[in-house]
Amino acid sequence: MTEQLPVRLVGITKRFPGVVANDGVDLDLRVGEVHGLLGENGAGKSTLMNILFGLYTPEEGQIFVNGQPVIIDSPAKAISLGIGMIHQHFRLVRPFTVTENIILGLDSTPAILDMKAAATRVAQVARQYGIQINPNARIENLSVGEQQRVEILNSLYREANVLILDEPTAVLTPQEAQDLAVTLREMASQGKAVVFISHKLDEVMDVTDRVTVLRRGRKVFEAMTADTSKGELAREMIGHKLEEFKREQKAFIMALTGAGEVTAAGDGSAAGHHEAAAARPVLTVQNLVVNDDRDLPACREVSFEIAAGEILGVAGVDGNGQRELIEALTGQRPALEGHISVNGKDATRWTPRQVIDHDVAVITDDRQGEGLLLKTSVARNTVLKLFERPAFAKRRMLRFGAIDSFAEQLVQDYSISTPGVQVAAAKLSGGNQQKIILARELSQSPALIIANKPTRGLDIGAATYVHQKLSEERDRGAAVLLISADLDELFALSDRLMVIYSGRVMGIMPIEEADLERVGLMMAGTSDGGRPTSEQVTP
Amino acid sequence: MTAIARSTKNINWPGVGRSILAAALSIALGLLIGALFLLFSGQNPVAAYTSLLKGAFGTPARLAETFVKMTPFLILAISVSISFKCGVWNIGAEGQLIVGAITSFWAAMTFHFLPPVLLLPLTAVAGMVGGTLWSGIAGVLKAYFNANEVITTSMLNFIAVYLLAYMVNGPLKDPEGFNFPQSRLIPESLELPRLLAGSRLNIAFLVALGLVIVTLLFWRSTVGFRMEIVGASRRVATHVGLNVKRTIILVSIISGAIAGLAGWGEIFGVHFRLIEAIAVGMGSLAVVVALIGELHPLGMVVSAFLFASLVVGGNAMERSAGVPFALVDVINGSIILIVLARSYLFRGWRS
């Protein structure tokens, strides 16, 4: 090796209870390079960089800085090694000026401050990297983009050679993001090594020299940015070990059920369901327009329908309108334009209660925040949507006997592993918590099931169980809307696949016509070039 | 009572035992700290505490007086606990009590021509409506404008206190009251029946105990469960189809009605007229009673009794042992702090 790498990570493994956040990850940072770290939410990008910055200690692996093995056990240590990190949430004292924030906590700051000299130095460093900032401005008067510049300047002032930016553009306007890109290039050209964490493909293509993709805690791909493409990166982010996954899953189901009766995702699931797809539509969405929390368009003229006995998969990178679509369908977000109907009834303005009462089940992607009351018993969690029905309440008094035996039945039917139905839901494992939600949502034989990343954070066994249940429901005649960031899951379960990007439907296709290349491109925003889809938008 | 029997069925008795032991030790520790204060200020702690105990429980009449003081504490704590369980930090019990007292008094004066058997229930309803009006303001502000209820309810407390002061110094002032800031007396026929001759103990105390049973049942009802879900997580509540706004308003109404009933009890059971100091400090004490009772109706019976004993016994301590009441406040404060810190102090054996 002729040049010393400023940072080498070798075999980094970090486990959290129940999850392997990083699994033997290697990463080299080079002088003068902007290195993109790409991956879905939860892929382990931030964990890896928090390890480099001394916020977490890895269980395994070694970090080398300038060729020397080091142990980084605190951010102070990282900073002393010339590593700086700009977090998504800024760590600035708002009433202080830019200069005051930068010299804050520096050992070299004298007891009697010479603010003028300090401001001059700050201005000098800023000029060196082409950063536009007034050293005497108060933080509270600065825009978010300017505050981020202060954070960057802060690291540069401390003579960082390695700068880590954790999703820096998430908070920026497009113009500010462009300014940031210029600054990052300038820093690289002056010999800094920059890590740029993102899940946005366009930015990574624009800003970085080299890109590494993490998926489920593993490094799955590394290339020079010039040698790769958005489509390839999208596929790497989402995964392409479909066959392997199917085999794994099939073997697991065989082990579970003892023999061949594989109803789940294993075999060509789409085959037997084509006549079903011609059946009556359960959910029809026409030209739906929904805004996000900032009142910006999140779903733009979305149209699709799902028939009874059909699973419609929705593929798309996180944050492309999936959440807003679900909230609109479940009555939690107003539809600004367009039309939703469920079983022929106008559902555009339904309240969440009306949605539930019309046999729509929702499997949330946030089981601990939205799906379950963790401190409440398993039994009560199973009736959260049902407790006002006559089966569980008589003259407005809860029938605890009925509730307990209902819960006990579900625990049996869904093989929920729990010491008892009076135990708090928090005591159960993630997989068993998800089973409570499945049991609750599926127990009433819903007509429509909206499943949002139903296997998020689950191990293969629990995930397979969820897949099996969803297939069973489809076979029973339910319509299923399956939203997932996991292409393997979508390919394994869907009858048809819809791809959304930036709130728009890029195309809807039968699963046999979907291939990874095409879906990956559509997910990256390239419209379905040339190849005719058998159904556009509404069939 | 079957309600009590049923609600005690699923109780974790060793856990309850540990809780009671922890509470008892906390009180002992609080009294010990109080004893140190007494020593430092040149008092005899043994004599002081003897007079405290005698004052609170020494004779049937003293015990009855403790129950009299316990009544509003318990009713207000129940009012507060229902809001708290729904995640609404309503600290406006004091204001709601005051407005309930005013409206129930107003009803008694306005509809004086009705026979007492009709008028007395009417005054109780009027008190509940008054409390509801007051808490409803905060509830609507919370539900529709997301106004912080801690601020709105405490501001409404101030308004209620000054409204009452205005009433008893102005429109409702007793013309024959030697210029005291108080209203006329209610007709004797409307005074709540006494439970023990020669004491002030009246049936408002039974109303409070009845409320405990109703509350036990309430938490087993669909409405109560809905409030618990909203209190545990607004997001889950919305997800499972509950109307969070409507639930918040409903809980404000229920809490306000109960607090207003406490005001009615004070007027028709104890004072028989509006006075300025009808509710001084009761709001914050109700919060303490509710929290120390762990928001459980039976727990609050115990904690309301404890605080009533301290107040009544403390008064006696001041009179017979010459301990300044400020020192009684210090002892009460020490007990409150230690009881509230008990889960930290005794966490070792809460396995």
β-strands A397-398, A393-394 pairing? antiparallel
How do residues B184-216 score in pLDDT, each as one tens digit?
Answer: 999 999 999 999 888 899 999 999 999 999 999
Q: For residue A130, give the amino acid letter.
A: G
Q: Looking at the domain assignment, is residue B64 inside a domain?
A: no
Inter-chain residue contact B238 with A352, CB threshold 8 Å: yes
Mean pLDDT: which of A382-391, A454-463, A484-493, B14-23 is highest? Answer: A382-391
Residue % of chain A over a pLDDT of 70: 87
How do residues B79-93 score in pLDDT, each as one tens digit?
Answer: 999 999 999 999 999
pLDDT of residue A143: 80
Q: Tell me which residues of chain A have a C-beta less than 8 Å from any C-beta of chain B.
A: 330, 332, 351-353, 355-357, 362, 364, 369-373, 375-376, 380, 384-385, 387-388, 393, 396-398, 400, 422
Identify the three-state secondary structure at position A143: coil
Partners of A83 in beta bridges? A162
Residue B56 CA to residue B107 CA, distance in Å, equals 35
Nearest to A102 by CA among A49, A157, A51, A37: A157
Strand residues in A153-231 grouped as ranges (E): 162-166, 193-198, 210-215, 218-224
Identify the three-state secondary structure at position A269: coil
Q: Looking at the domain assignment, is residue B176 inside a domain?
A: yes
DSSP annotation of A229 reads: -
CATH number of the structural domain A242-359+448-523? 3.40.50.300
Non-local CB neighbours of B99 within 8 Å, separated by 6+ positions: B130, B131, B133, B134, B160, B163, B260, B263
Q: Which among B10, B223, B236 is the nearest to A396, CB-wise?
A: B223
Residue B8 CA to residue A113 CA, distance in Å, equals 67
All residues of chain A having their beta carbon less than 8 Å from the beta carbon of residue B227 are none
Inter-chain residue contact A387 with B223, CB threshold 8 Å: no
Q: Looking at the domain assignment, is residue B349 inside a domain?
A: no
All residues of chain B having their beta carbon less than 8 Å from the beta carbon of residue A387 are 222, 225
Q: Looking at the domain assignment, is residue B2 inside a domain?
A: no
Partners of A97 in beta bridges? A138
β-strands A34-38, A193-198 pairing? parallel
Residue B229 CA to residue B227 CA, distance in Å, equals 5
Q: Which among A370, A376, A384 is the nearest to B235, CB-wise?
A: A370
CATH number of the structural domain A7-228? 3.40.50.300
Nearest chain B residue to A351 by CA distance is B241
CB A283 within 8 A of CB A505: no
Residue A452 CA to residue A460 CA, distance in Å, equals 17
pLDDT of residue B351: 39
pLDDT of residue A174: 67
Structural domain including B224 reads: 70-296
β-strands A19-29, A281-291 pairing? unpaired
**Helix ranges, chain B (H):** 2-7, 13-40, 45-57, 60-85, 93-110, 116-145, 149-169, 204-218, 222-232, 234-239, 244-265, 282-292, 297-321, 325-340, 342-345
A385: tokens are 């949507």
How do residues A507-536 score in pLDDT, each as one tens digit?
Answer: 999 998 888 778 878 887 776 544 444 444
Residue A135 CA to residue A143 CA, distance in Å, equals 14
- For A75-87, what is the mean pLDDT? 92
All residues of chain B having their beta carbon less than 8 Å from the beta carbon of residue A356 are 240-241
CB A436 within 8 A of CB A467: no
Inter-chain residue contact B239 with A372, CB threshold 8 Å: no
From the CB of residue A318, how many other CB atoms can be counted at a distance below 10 Å? 15
Nearest chain A residue to B227 by CA distance is A384
- What is the domain partition of chain A in residue ranges? 7-228, 242-359+448-523, 368-444
Inter-chain residue contact A400 with B229, CB threshold 8 Å: no
All residues of chain B having their beta carbon less than 8 Å from the beta carbon of residue A352 are 238-242
Edge-to-edge order in the sheet of strand A210-215: A83-86, A162-166, A193-198, A34-38, A210-215, A218-224
HEC profile for B159-189? HHHHHHHHHHHCCCECCCCCCCCEECCCCHH
Inter-chain residue contact B225 with A372, CB threshold 8 Å: no
With vertex at residue A220, the alpha carbon angle to CA A215 and CA A221, rounded to the nearest 5 degrees, is 125
- For A77-95, what is the mean pLDDT? 89
The CA distance from B174 to the nearest CA of chain A, in Å, is 47
Q: Which among B222, B232, B243 is the nearest to A373, CB-wise?
A: B232
* Lowest-pLDDT choice from A342-346, B28-32, B158-162: B28-32
Domain count, chain B: 1
Residue % of chain B over a pLDDT of 90: 62
Inter-chain residue contact A384 with B221, CB threshold 8 Å: no
Tell me the torsion sign for CA atoms A378, A384, A389, A393.
Answer: positive
pLDDT of residue B168: 93
pLDDT at A265 over 70: no
CB A466 within 8 A of CB A434: yes
Q: Looking at the domain assignment, is residue B57 inside a domain?
A: no
A420: tokens are 């008892």
All residues of chain A having their beta carbon less than 8 Å from the beta carbon of residue B229 are 373, 384
Nearest chain A residue to B240 by CA distance is A385
pLDDT at A31 over 90: yes
What's CA A526's distance to the chain center, in Å? 21
A514: tokens are 């979907």
Q: For residue B242, give the amino acid letter.
A: L
pTM for the whole thing? 0.72
Nearest chain B residue to A385 by CA distance is B240
Please report, in angstroms and rounded to a whole number, the separation of the first and last CA atoms in chain B.
32
Inter-chain residue contact B239 with A357, CB threshold 8 Å: no
Residue A257 CA to residue A353 CA, distance in Å, equals 37
- Please report which confidence band the pLDDT of residue A257 belongs to, taking 50, 70 and 90 as the band edges: low
Q: Which among A371, A385, A397 is the nearest to B220, CB-wise?
A: A397
Residue B230 CA to residue B219 CA, distance in Å, equals 13
B331: tokens are 């002892």
